[in-house]
Amino acid sequence: MPLSMAKAGDTVRVVRVRGGEELKRHLSNLGFVEGSEVHVVNQALGNIIVMVKGSRLGIDSKTAMRVMVA
């Protein structure tokens, strides 16, 4: 499922990152790679705050939709 659907408090794992080259690269630089663990801090209608690779990131819903997690 897309990251934007994860609930606050969940800890999920990245399965795939969709999107254009630049976005994928940017995201992977920040730690959104297959297999990395993502902890959801809070969710607000798709805009989401997560902890990944030890840092806290705020992401908009469209971008979050591109990160597939399980």
Partner 1 sequence: MATDIRVALAGNPNCGKTTLFNRITGQNGYVGNWPGVTVEKKEARLSSDKNVVVTDLPGIYSLSPYSPEEQVSRDYLMSGEPDVVVNVVDATNLERNLYLTLQVVETGLPVVIALNMADLVEKSGDKIDAGKLSQRLGAPVVMISALKGSGVDELLRTARQEAAKAGSVPAHRFDSAIEGVLDDIEKLVPAGVEEGKRRYYAVKLFERDELAAKAISLSPASAAKVEALVAQCEKDCDDDAESIITGERYALIAHIMDECVKKAPAKMSTSEKIDRIVTNRILGLPIFLAVMFGVYYLAISTFGTAGTDWVNDNLFGEGWELFGAAMPSVPDVVTGWLEAAGASAMVTSLVVDGVVAGVGAVLGFIPQMVVLFILLSFLEDCGYMARVAFVMDRVFRRFGLSGKSFIPMLVSTGCGVPGVLATKTIENEKDRRMTVMTTTFIPCGAKLPIIALLMGALVGTSDATWIAPLFYFLGVVAVIVSGIMLKKTKLFAGRPTPFVMELPSYHFPSIRSWALHVWERVSAYIKKAFTIIFASTVVVWFLSNFGTAGWEGGSGAFGFLPDMEGVPEEFTDYSVLAMLGGAIAWIFAPLGFDSWQATAMSVTGLVAKENVVATAASLLHIADAGETDPSLWAAFAGMFSTMGGIMAFGAFNLLCAPCFAAMGTIRAQMNSAKWTAIALGYECGFAWVVGLMINQFYLLAQGVVSVWTVVAVAFAALILFQVFRPMPKGAWDDEPAAAAATA
**CB 11 → partner 1: shortest distance, Å?**
10
* Two tokens, residue 59: 């992401």
For residue 22, the one-letter residue type is E
29 makes contact with partner 1 (CB under 8 A): yes
62 makes contact with partner 1 (CB under 8 A): yes
Residue count at the site for partner 1 (CB under 8 A)? 37
**Residue whose pair of structure tokens reads 């408090």 in the numeric block:** 9
* Two tokens, residue 51: 């902890």
Which residues are paired to 11 by β-bridges?
39
Q: Which residues bind partner 1 (CB under 8 A)?
A: 1-2, 8, 22-23, 25-31, 33-36, 41-47, 49, 53-63, 65, 68
